[in-house]
Structure 1
């Protein structure tokens, strides 16, 4: 975009000026509507989530054998929810802002197999593809015990096929580890911001890692091109995949079960606010869809992005979605939050979910580092920088009276609210790398 086009964009969308200046800001979506109305734009429903949930249950016996760390949960890949009272107190002091209600952390950062939220969507899409191939060849039926997949026969079968994906890191980890375990030949096209340890982890699992000096969009495009030239190769498209989206969406019903077990009620008098770090949008979009289906209009989902990569904020706020990138308005898309280093948002997710997402906000890399250190000090929980993006959400919600009034929330309802920070990654970060994150704290 030239300067005149940018000035016109700012005139119609004033917050773009703050985005360009890398100033942390937030926007609550005035076009939010009910689940009943918003669902019509998604193109998926409860039956699709149920199908995804059942597929994961079918694969559970296989996963329990292939990955012993899932044995305790009988092959179900799920994370804990923990209350973080000490962190809540520290946040209130840091921002001089009271947080009404309870503050919880959803530890997708510590999901088994790949240590991030991508263990939901990424692994699910690989399993979906593997099941399809095996059933088409008459090697598997839905009634089988899927533990039979853990055999040399199936490894040799899957070894005839390839899988490719473009990634900033965590999606590549989940798809690479899962695909290699099944026996696929897998290539992960890694963008410039991908962490070295993630590349090494993949290579140690027999994955072909292809590195680029460009950002996420280029890695995805190159991965797509490589797959097109090979008929036996399946490309996993993080930008547009409904299968990935559905893998993430199962989290909604799982969280509802966890809340029931914890005695946490979600209704008009006890609202739920969920803060989700956002990169291209597939993970947080799918989780938000699942949450909406599980809790209806009583859950309010808010996306958090780095000031240097606010692609979903920019796309939805301007209404341009994937027709605009952060680079188009002069933002560099360089951030320490490698999982969120995406310049152009998923057009599918932005358009499908724009009426069901309450808001968006940005925060600086340094703030993520500071919050990372604060969580370590107060709760002894270690995450990667991108996973801290959601930690400021409860502060913003409690600060903005206009948003509270729009929701017609009384002080009593706010007092009974649950604030859930979705921690998206960090469980597999090597100790020396984690120490570097902690040392980047400026406080």
Structure 2
């Protein structure tokens, strides 16, 4: 990793070259259109293709019997970990009365096991690691019935190995819960902005939680160093993981089926707009990659970041990618949206998103609280603050629609709700009360 410290003169020079930085550094909400967005037939070489997403989906299918055995909440779906897609018409009427297209919520806040979008990437990466260990040891063949992972033999085998992860909260939950269930020794390195209830839940599930002073970048660095010192250690690297990325990308195949079931077509006359809360950039980047593989140029993806943690926006807008952090520009990386409290973007995902994401908007914490309260009142759905970031998307991307001469009349809008179902009721009530006080 390259560490850069800018002088005041260099920061002023940056603002001259990239005028949007003036508003970003002033912590004002902004909307940025990606000048590097490519048509799918013009993209430079990408590390994956659709066939890789389909291979990842097959791994999920192989593990379905295991999930059905170990996680009762997946019994009704036969071990499939997926979330519903629902219309939020009342929210649309209240917030966007003039909007003609449909407005949907992708409810990853309801994903089994981890209660957040991290159940896709985090759980998937641990699965691929466990599968590879078992295959290499001759304990498993891919045509086996994967409920064998529930056996004491497998749990004893995995207890020889350790898994580490640095997290602001939700990724740690997904890694900790599935790793402990499989039998691994798992350590979660948590930044100071992680919520206490997430630390408590991880410990209750059998994970070791190490609390570190500093933000996400420091937690992930400490976790990486400690885990890799163990010869049997495996570190889930949110800044540079291909497996996390692929796990998230499978969501696109699932969404395609859900839209088909609702008789919703996505094409040039019926464009799809997707709004994704963004922290380090791995989950929104992976989903964007998958959606682009499925829907091509007819899908337009936007990331949403807090004004105090615009790490991917600064990385892309400056072209410096993961070589810069928000702290390099004097931004404090302090936000109530703990899942989005990331100062430096993903090395792996950001380089891909540079070609595929249509734009990024930033928003203040108070807006997140207002949106989650409005959603609760209008749809009886409760989210944690970071998960509400996509709900304002249809309003924020009007400049993009005008710039690209898109007819929004038949558009489909999807806000991706990234977490909330495991939040303790008293904490959720505090979120809601604060939101109501701000409306």
Flag whether TM exceeds 0.5 (same fold): yes
Shift of 1:89: 1.3
Which position in structure 1 is the counterpart of 2:12? 7
5+ residue gaps, structure 1, are none
The CA distance in 2 between the partners of 1:396 and 1:41, in whole Å, is 30
Shift of 1:407: 2.4
Shift of 1:408: 2.7
Which position in structure 1 is the counterpart of 2:63? 59
1:404 to 401, 423, 429: 401
Shift of 1:149: 1.0
Which position in structure 1 is the counterpart of 2:3? none
2:50 to 46, 50, 57: 46
The CA distance in 1 between the partners of 2:35 and 2:234, in whole Å, is 39
RMSD over aligned Cα atoms: 0.9
Which position in structure 1 is the counterpart of 2:166? 166
Query: Secondary structure at 1:44's aligned position in 2?
Result: coil
- Whether 2:42 is the aligned partner of 1:19: answer no
The CA distance in 2 between the partners of 1:37 and 1:111, in whole Å, is 34
The CA distance in 2 between the partners of 1:132 and 1:245, in whole Å, is 18
Residues 289-308 of structure 1 mapped to structure 2, 5 A cutoff: 289-308=289-308
5+ residue gaps, structure 2, are 1-5
1:370-397, CA deviations, whole angstroms, 9 ceiling, x for partnerless residues? 1011100100100000001111110122
Which position in structure 1 is the counterpart of 2:187? 187
Contact preservation (8 Å) 1:245, 1:282 = yes
Query: Secondary structure at 2:86's aligned position in 1?
Result: strand
- Whether 2:284 is the aligned partner of 1:287: answer no
The CA distance in 1 between the partners of 2:341 and 2:379, in whole Å, is 27
The CA distance in 1 between the partners of 2:363 and 2:99, in whole Å, is 18
Shift of 1:41: 3.6
The CA distance in 1 between the partners of 2:130 and 2:104, in whole Å, is 35
The CA distance in 1 between the partners of 2:163 and 2:426, in whole Å, is 31
Contact preservation (8 Å) 1:105, 1:423 = yes
- Whether 2:421 is the aligned partner of 1:427: answer yes
Query: Secondary structure at 1:355's aligned position in 2?
Result: helix
Which position in structure 1 is the counterpart of 2:328? 328
The CA distance in 2 between the partners of 1:50 and 1:86, in whole Å, is 35
Shift of 1:352: 1.4
- Whether 2:72 is the aligned partner of 1:77: answer no
Contact preservation (8 Å) 1:248, 1:286 = yes
The CA distance in 1 between the partners of 2:193 and 2:402, in whole Å, is 40
Which position in structure 1 is the counterpart of 2:132? 132
Shift of 1:250: 0.4
The CA distance in 1 between the partners of 2:248 and 2:394, in whole Å, is 23
1:188-226, CA deviations, whole angstroms, 9 ceiling, x for partnerless residues? 000010000000000000100000121000000000000
Which position in structure 1 is the counterpart of 2:393? 393
